[in-house]
Structure formats: C-alpha cells, structure tokens
C-alpha cells in the first residue's frame, strides 16, 4: 500500500513538473508560433499559455538588432528567438552606393518603419525576414533612384519615400508585413558634384543679390522722382496761392484807396460847397502839386516845366512859387 501511494505521489509530481514546464508567459504586444510534432498548431496570445512539452514547441524566428560599438560604428546582429514582436519596428540601413539616371554615384541611407501583422506568414513564408527586408529595400532603392536624375533625387524626397513605401508594402505583403513608411536620411553626392552645386548656388545667390540691388535702385529712383514731382507740385501750388493772395491784397488795397478817395472827394465837396471853386478842379490841382513836389525834390531837378493849362488850374489855389522856391 505504501509503495502504491509513493508511486502515485511520484506520478503526480511528474505531471505537475510536466505541466509547469509547459507554462509559457507571453508579453504584451508579442506572440509565439507553436508547432506540434513539427506542424503548425496555434498562435499564442499575450498572457499565460500552456504547451505540451516534447509534443509541442515554439517555432523560432530571426530578429535584427543594431547597436553602436566603442568607435561609434553601428553593429548589426541577428538573433534566433521564439518571440515575435508585433510592435512597429525601425530598421536603419547603412549607406549604399546608388547610381542615378544621369550616371552620378550617390551614397544614400534610409529608415524603414514596418510591422508584422501576420505572424504565421512571417514565420513560414520567408526564412530570414529581417535580412529579406533589408535586401529588398536596398534593391528597391536602387531601382527607384535609377529612374531619377540627381537634381530630382535631391528635391523629390517625399515622392521617393512614397514610391518606396508602395513598392515595399506590396512586396512584403505575402510575408505578413505592413510597411508604414520609408524615410531617406542622407543623400550624399560625390565631392566634385557638391563643389559644382556650391558654385551654382553661389552664382544664383549673387544673381539674386544683383536683381534685388537693381530693384532697390529702381525703386529709389522712382521714389526720388515722385518726391521731386510732388515738391514741384507743392511749390507751384504755393506760388499760385501766393499770387492769388497778392492779387486779392492789391484788389482790396485799390478798393480801400478808391473808397478813401471817394470819401476825400465827398469831404472836399462839402468843404468848398459855399465857394465858387469846382471840387474836381481843386483835387486835380492837388494832384499836380503832389507830383511837382516829387519832381522838385530830386537832386538833379532844378527846373520844372509845367503845361499851360496846369498853371491856370493852380492859379486858382495860389502861387506856385511859394510852394517851390527853387523852381524857375
């Protein structure tokens, strides 16, 4: 009885150990392909899973890992692991020589963003998935760049990225891979081409500088001429305004003078209204006297000649001799 109990306990321990040895924990966003007797059986999900040892075992797959060494160089290695990462992965491919359509050898490196969407295809449809993706990317890159000239390659990165993504996504679909995007990092032409491009850009910058300088001088000349034109217009307007004001002033002065003379005539007429003297004759004689005064006041005027009719007019007011003692 004791021996039977011992056997049962031993068998129970063996079963527990057997079950525990088949206990598999799969991390989140990972999966595992399980084969039974060499044939696909199931795909494990994240969490606790149980597989039957000896009968079942995980199928291993190649994974790509890159890291920098002490010299800063990127070292790529491949590992054989049963875990399949379902997250988006990034492959940084080293630079490679690519020949453009115009026969210029250019060094280009690229980044590939992809994701395994069908683990079964990724395991059974291709032997070494990372290596296949790398070789396919390099070949596709050469084909796409070979259809473009150097100038197009340098200025059409978005177009190249989109074309690479479409081609790679279609080619890797049978491997259970989804290519999300492709990014060209560096496009390095030969040194001779870079020097020529630098000279071309320098010449273009100088040409633009000359154009801008010429445009500035042209604009300055236009502004200067516009300023001179406006200045002349303002001067002419000011001159016109001055002439108008001067004419208005002279007209007002003449009006005032005429009003003053009219007032003087009126007062003279009132003063001599009781005499026999004609007011007009009197005022005319006064004008003669004022004129003779101005003529006699000159240094060279020693003799004054007077018309006969003027002397008759002045005779009615008194002697001219008393007014001009130096006149003959």
Q: Is the pTM of this model over 0.85?
A: no
- Tokens representing 291 are 């004129």
In this prediction, residue 34 has a pLDDT band, given cuts at 50, 70 and 90, of very high
Q: Of 181, 186, 166, nearest to 110 (Cα)? A: 186
322 pLDDT higher than 50: no
Query: CB-based burial of residue 274 (10 Å sphere; 0-12 exposed, 13-18 middle, 19+ buried)?
Result: exposed
> What is the distance in angstroms between the CA of the first residue and the CA of the last residue of the chain?
189
58-112 tens-digit pLDDT: 999 988 887 777 776 777 788 888 899 999 999 988 888 888 888 888 888 889 9
Partners of 49 in the beta sheet? 24
pLDDT tens digits, 141-174: 999 988 888 888 888 888 899 999 999 999 999 9
Three-state helix/strand/coil letters over the chain: CHHHHHHHHHHHHHHHHHHHHCEEEECCCEEEEEEECCEEEEEECCEEEECCCCCEEECCEEEEEEEECCCCCEEEEEEEECEEECCCEEEECCCEEEECCCCCEEEEEEEEEEEECCHHHHHHCCCCHHHHHHHHHHHHHHHHHHCCCHHHHHHCHHHHHHHHHHHHHHHHHHHCEEEEEEEEEEEECCHHHHHHHHHHHHHHHHHHHHHHHHHHHHHHHHHHHHHHHHHHHHHHHHHHHHHHHHHHHHHHHHHHHHHHHHHHHHHHHHHCCCCCCCHHHHHHHHHHHHHHHHHHCCCCCCCCCCCHHHHHHHHCCCCHHHHCCCCC
Most confident of the following: 24-38, 55-69, 247-261: 24-38
The confidence score (pLDDT) of residue 42 equals: 92
Beta bridge partners of 186: 109
Q: Mean pLDDT over all residues of the chain?
A: 80
Question: Is the model's pLDDT at 25 over the cut of 50?
Answer: yes
- Average pLDDT over every residue of 268-282: 63
d(Cα 121, Cα 136) in Å, to the nearest integer?
17
173-224 pLDDT, tens digit per residue, is 999 999 999 998 888 887 777 677 677 777 877 888 888 888 888 888 888 8
Q: Does the pLDDT value for residue 275 go beyond 70? A: no
């Amino acid at each position: 009885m004791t021996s039977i109990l011992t056997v049962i306990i031993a068998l129970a321990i063996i079963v527990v150990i057997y079950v525990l040895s088949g206990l598999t924990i799969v991390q989140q966003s990972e999966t595992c392909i399980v084969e039974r007797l060499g044939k696909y059986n199931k795909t494990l999900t994240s969490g606790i899973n149980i597989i039957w040892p000896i009968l079942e075992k995980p199928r291993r797959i190649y994974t790509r890992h890159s890291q920098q060494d002490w010299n800063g160089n990127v070292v790529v290695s491949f590992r054989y692991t049963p875990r399949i990462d379902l997250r988006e992965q990034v492959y940084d491919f080293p630079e490679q020589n690519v020949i453009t359509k115009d026969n210029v050898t250019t060094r280009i490196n690229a980044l590939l963003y992809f994701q395994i969407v069908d683990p079964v295809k990724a395991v059974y449809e291709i032997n070494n998935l990372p290596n296949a993706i790398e070789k396919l990317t390099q070949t596709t890159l050469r084909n796409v760049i070979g259809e473009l000239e150097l100038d197009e390659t340098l200025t059409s990165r978005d177009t190249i990225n989109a074309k690479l993504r479409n081609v790679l996504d279609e080619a890797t679909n049978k491997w259970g891979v989804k290519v999300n995007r492709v990014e060209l990092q560096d496009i390095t032409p030969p040194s001779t081409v870079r020097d020529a491009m630098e000279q071309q850009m320098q010449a273009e910058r100088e040409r633009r500088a000359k154009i801008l300088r010429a445009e500035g001088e042209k604009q300055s000349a236009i502004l200067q001429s516009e300023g001179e034109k406006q200045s002349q217009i303002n001067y002419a307007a000011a001159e016109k305004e001055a002439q108008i004001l001067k004419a208005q002033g002279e007209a007002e002065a003449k009006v005032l003078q005429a009003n003053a003379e009219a007032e003087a005539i009126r007062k003279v007429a009132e003063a001599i209204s009781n005499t026999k003297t004609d007011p007009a004759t009197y005022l005319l004689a006064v004008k003669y006297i004022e004129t003779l005064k101005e003529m006699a006041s000159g240094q060279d005027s020693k003799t004054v000649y007077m018309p006969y009719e003027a002397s008759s007019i002045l005779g009615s007011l008194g002697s001219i001799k008393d007014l001009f003692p130096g006149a003959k």
